[in-house]
Structure 1
Amino acid sequence: MDLGSPLTGEHLLRAVDPVQVLAGPVVAERVHRSREFLSRVLADDDRPVYGAKTGFGALVVFAGRDTDADQCDNTLAHLTAGQGPDLPLDVVRAALMVRTWSLAQGISGVSAHVVDGLAAMFGTSFTPAMPRYGSVGASGDLIPLAYAAQALRGRGFAYLDGARLPAMDALAAAGLTPLELDGRDALALVNGTSVTTAALSLALSSVRASHRAAQDLTCLLADVLGAAPGFVEPRLVSAYGHRGARVVADRMRARLDGTRPSGDRPLQEPYSIRCTPQLLGACEDALRYVDDVVSADLAGVSDNPLFFAEDDVVAHGGNFFGQPAAFAADMLAMVAASVGNVVERQLDLLIDPVRNSGMPPMLAAGPGRQHGVQGVQLAATALVAEMRRSAVPASTQSLPTNLHNQDVVPFGTHAALRTYDLAALLRLLCGSLALALRQTAHVGGRRPTAPRCAELLDALVGAIPPVDPDRPLDSDVRVAAGVVTAWSSQVR
């Protein structure tokens, strides 16, 4: 990846593994120019610069420490107050990718060796240990990013090849040199909403994959049951008036091409089938909004202050305020919960002998002696309950803090990390339905008549043995989730 090129969600997905990150001549020049400007400003006693000459937050009215090295400690020491488990490593590395790109834009005033050191880190598996709790998503993700900055200095803890080690040991083993930071470097590392943006971007990628999978599983379910495909009729959905519904119906119609209704189903299917173009279409419209927010976050600079050398301006403001991401993450949580709900309802339909076109209850091969997917359905109910509980908006929960310096906060970090968790639960719900659909091939379910639906079922059958006799199915759910999301991303 070249730091002079636009940053994308795909870059964040790839950052979980060692990846080459380049800070080319264009990046070097703009970082150098910004740093020189900062030096001139700091030499002028009449020009205030937050965090370089001052205390932090509510203590901005007091002078900072006397030396650059002490000002770095002044920045980071008080922020290493986080709690809770370490954040997932993919979130941490994605967050640092976002932070690195932001600093490389040359308006943060950081030292060139900071950008170079971060770029070098990505070529290894070195990953700082960041606590989950501490950020309110305003003034940046201060506390978790402070742990990252400390680890890059050789303090605290970090992971190397998945093992948690003292940070200095991990740096040495990775062949990395501890970063030397001054006050501005330290503040620039922590004063952005990079954890929020990273978690939201990763969650968006996962929810989009599950959203596609839910469309394909709906088509397979309708075909296995022998349902008529009229619910995706183009004139019907076009009359609905919503772009997302048309996009989803077009995709589903391609999957159902060639299906032959059994003639044994009711005139109208339950809403969990009949209304999926409308429901999943509304999700598509919401996902497009989240796409726009993530794209803007990835293209923006989240920091304070910013240094515009060409205009001789030091701008103090609020570009570290993660309100757009907070709203988008809350929206994404609602999407995840809504898709999860319809997937669970489809699973319930599929295991019910009153509604599933004559298949046995729980899709059990010998009900009573065998229990089929009964345990999977129980677990799916628990997953939906957890998703509903967790989908309460975080962006409306503002609490004042920091002596009312931060008197409104967006809680975007809470929203994004919560949605990251919900994305994983949604993937498991899709896996649960996919496993049940696989089981229909073993208990007398109809062979799909649409070629693409048959192809998906064959992929599931090829990866997962039938449930006969009963066996633990936790790993099978995860395998099924992987099969359907991979198939849905590849088949056009």
Structure 2
Amino acid sequence: MDKIILNGNDLTRHQVIDVAFNNAKVAIDTSKISKSLDYITKKVKEKKIIYGVTTGFGSNSDKLIETKDTVDLQLNLLRSHACGVGNNFSKEIVRAIMVIRLNTLLRGNSGVQKSTVDQLAFLLNNDIHPVIPEQGSVGASGDLCPLSHMALPLIGEGEVEYNGKEYTTADFLETKEAKKIGFKKVTLSYKEGLALNNGTTVMTAVGTIALHKAEQLLKVCTLSSALIFESLCARKNSFAYEPIHKVRNHSGQIEIAQWLTKLLNGSKLINISQKQILTKLINTKQIPDEILSEIEKINSVEAEDEQIQVPGLAIDKMKAAGKSDLANMLTFAKKKWKPQDSYSIRCLPQVFGASKKAIDHVISVVDNELNASVDNPLIFADDDKVVSGGNFHGQPIALVMDYLKLALAEMGNITERQINKMVDTNTNDCMESFLIYGTGLNNGLMIPQYAAAGIVSENKVLVHPASADSIPTCENTEDHVSMGTIAARQAVQIAENVEKITAIAIMTGFYAISMRLEQFATMKMESSPDKTLAPATLDFYNAVKESNKEFANANFLKTDRYLSPEIKSIHAKFGEFAKVADKYLK
């Protein structure tokens, strides 16, 4: 695999994901860093007053530091600020933090040594990961606390994880592994503590992971919805009729409608009309003559869009004759008299489209932050200036992470409503209660809907905007903070919650399409997935079927089973499902 070249200017979120999840290696272009290092070194020797270099930090900025103590100042900064608590960030998030910070330092505004960035790249490329607690950042001055944990191993302190085992850095330096690969600590220069720990890197890294999950989730959610659409033989015009979307002209809505159209192209189930169902029932030759004549009479009526209201009398007669399967199909035909589907089906382009546009906006902000100078002060050697500013403030990331949380939560909301619709015999167009035969003795998918509802409720708490809060810090010198890292962590949590909801929805859709096709088989209608499903949903159906051996068992609709492993097995296949979607959404 080719190394990813970092130069401070063109790091992409896809490269961050490659480093985080695939252990991609990096090479660094250090051509821009020497000028700012030389400049800050010169100013220190001239005894210039520079915040955080020759002064204390925060409310201590009025206290001058002697030149002989400037390196200790940077060491003390990292040691004192590394006070995080709670669970540790995952290895993937830590790797994202490391690569983004490296890229930021290479922009040439931070005053770092080549040896320092070389060593940070060395840790990353050799899978030596700083141990970083999740809690401790208020999002300004950037992510001081977690970034200090990231930086400590560079000076031989803090903790690291290597090959799944945690060590103090001091202990790890004494191991054979560390000596073999050449891990050595560095000596910091005048501004390097601030360069390493001041900025929005942690919230940006966590936000990049949240975005990766969101982009994948939107595709898988749409694919899951398409399978549910087919199980309901949903009406096509709500997504496939382009003018209805163009007259509103929301680009996200238009894109999701196009996605659904592509995913459902070729389906023999979508848009089945009442007249088609009645004609197929007549052709089964299983219907008693007195009922058949009534259906033929109804079916002969000319009506717009072939929609004719089936009277309940025919259904009642069918039930009385012990033909429950035929009665269900006739009831299904009756429901098709209604000219529109429920909101969780009909309004999907509008809801998912709004989430897509939100995700697109978040992408633009995060992509910019990946290649930004975000510490303080910043060095502009060509202008002979060191400027104290606020580029460390996390408000841009905080706001979009809260926006992303809402976009994800709404995807979860409507997906849970689809689950609820499918397990309710009153709304699932004449399939069995909870999508299982023998209801009463069996419970089917009763409780998975509870689980989804519980997760949705949890998301409604998490979606409260973290950025709405601010608590002054540092003796009120830092009197407005962003809480951006909290927002980003919550965005990941909501994304993972919506993944679980979607896994339940996928299982529900698989049950539903299987039951619908069994109904068709009973009526001697075409019931082979290969001949009824759209190519995209057929690939998806087969991928779901392969995720759990129980789905290959013809009795899975007839007996209760332990469902948690099935949900987990589906969840584990999200990457594969996203590839199915990508194949058809190009």
TM-score band by shorter chain is: over 0.9
* Matched ranges for 1:52-451 at <5 A: 52-64=53-65, 66-171=68-173, 172=175, 173-174=177-178, 175=181, 176-232=183-239, 233-259=241-267, 260-263=270-273, 264=333, 265=336, 266-445=338-517, 447=529, 448-451=532-535
Query: Mind listing any 5+ residue stretches in structure 2 that lack a counterpart?
Result: 274-332, 521-528
Query: Is the contact made by 1:353 and 1:361 (CA closer than 8 Å) also made in structure 2?
Result: yes
Change (3 A) 1:143 1:153: same
Query: Is the contact made by 1:344 and 1:384 (CA closer than 8 Å) also made in structure 2?
Result: yes
Report how far residue 60 of structure 1 moved.
Answer: 0.8
Distance 1:21 1:146 in 2: 22
Change (3 A) 1:388 1:311: same
Partner-residue secondary structure (3-state), 1:491: helix
Partner-residue secondary structure (3-state), 1:34: helix
Query: Is the contact made by 1:229 and 1:256 (CA closer than 8 Å) also made in structure 2?
Result: no
Moved more, 339-348 or 150-159: 150-159
Distance 1:48 1:316 in 2: 12
Query: Is the contact made by 1:193 and 1:320 (CA closer than 8 Å) also made in structure 2?
Result: yes
User: Which amino acid in the other structure matches residue 453 of structure 1?
Assistant: T
The answer to whether structure 1 residue 487 and structure 2 residue 492 are counterparts is no
Report how far residue 345 of structure 1 moved.
Answer: 0.5
TM-score (normalizing by structure 1): 0.95
Distance 1:2 1:182 in 2: 25
Report how far residue 104 of structure 1 moved.
Answer: 0.8
Q: CA offsets per residue over residues 416-455 of structure 1, 9 Å max, x none?
A: 1110111111111111111111223443446544332222
User: Which amino acid in the other structure matches residue 62 of structure 2?
Assistant: V
Query: Mind listing any 5+ residue stretches in structure 1 that lack a counterpart?
Result: none
Q: CA offsets per residue over residues 142-175 of structure 1, 9 Å max, x none?
A: 0011111113322222211222222233455343
Change (3 A) 1:368 1:158: farther
Query: Is the contact made by 2:222 and 2:260 (CA closer than 8 Å) also made in structure 1?
Result: yes
- Matched residue, 1:29: 31
Partner-residue secondary structure (3-state), 1:181: coil
The answer to whether structure 1 residue 2 and structure 2 residue 12 are counterparts is no
Query: Is the contact made by 1:431 and 1:484 (CA closer than 8 Å) also made in structure 2?
Result: no
Report how far residue 314 of structure 1 moved.
Answer: 1.1
Partner-residue secondary structure (3-state), 1:28: coil
Report how far residue 31 of structure 1 moved.
Answer: 1.2
User: Which amino acid in the other structure matches residue 351 of structure 1?
Assistant: V
Query: Is the contact made by 2:161 and 2:167 (CA closer than 8 Å) also made in structure 1?
Result: yes
Partner-residue secondary structure (3-state), 1:207: helix
Query: Is the contact made by 2:471 and 2:481 (CA closer than 8 Å) also made in structure 1?
Result: yes
The share of aligned pairs that are identical, in percent, is: 29
Moved more, 272-281 or 71-80: 71-80
Partner-residue secondary structure (3-state), 1:106: coil
Partner-residue secondary structure (3-state), 1:2: strand
User: Which amino acid in the other structure matches residue 201 of structure 2?
Assistant: S
User: Which amino acid in the other structure matches residue 363 of structure 2?
Assistant: D
User: Which amino acid in the other structure matches residue 546 of structure 2?
Assistant: G
Report how far residue 251 of structure 1 moved.
Answer: 1.3
Distance 2:434 2:536 in 1: 25
Report how far residue 183 of structure 1 moved.
Answer: 4.4
Distance 2:104 2:535 in 1: 47
Distance 2:427 2:260 in 1: 22
User: Which amino acid in the other structure matches residue 107 of structure 1?
Assistant: N
Partner-residue secondary structure (3-state), 2:83: coil
Moved more, 440-449 or 209-218: 440-449
Distance 2:102 2:229 in 1: 47
Q: CA offsets per residue over residues 199-231 of structure 1, 9 Å max, x none?
A: 111101101111111222222111111111111
User: Which amino acid in the other structure matches residue 89 of structure 1?
Assistant: K
Change (3 A) 1:485 1:478: farther
Distance 1:214 1:444 in 2: 21
Query: Is the contact made by 2:86 and 2:134 (CA closer than 8 Å) also made in structure 1?
Result: yes
Distance 2:394 2:430 in 1: 52
Partner-residue secondary structure (3-state), 1:61: coil
Q: Which residue among 11, 17, 21 is the counterpart of 1:13? A: 17
Distance 1:120 1:18 in 2: 13
Query: Is the contact made by 1:197 and 1:297 (CA closer than 8 Å) also made in structure 2?
Result: yes
Partner-residue secondary structure (3-state), 1:48: coil
TM-score (normalizing by structure 2): 0.80
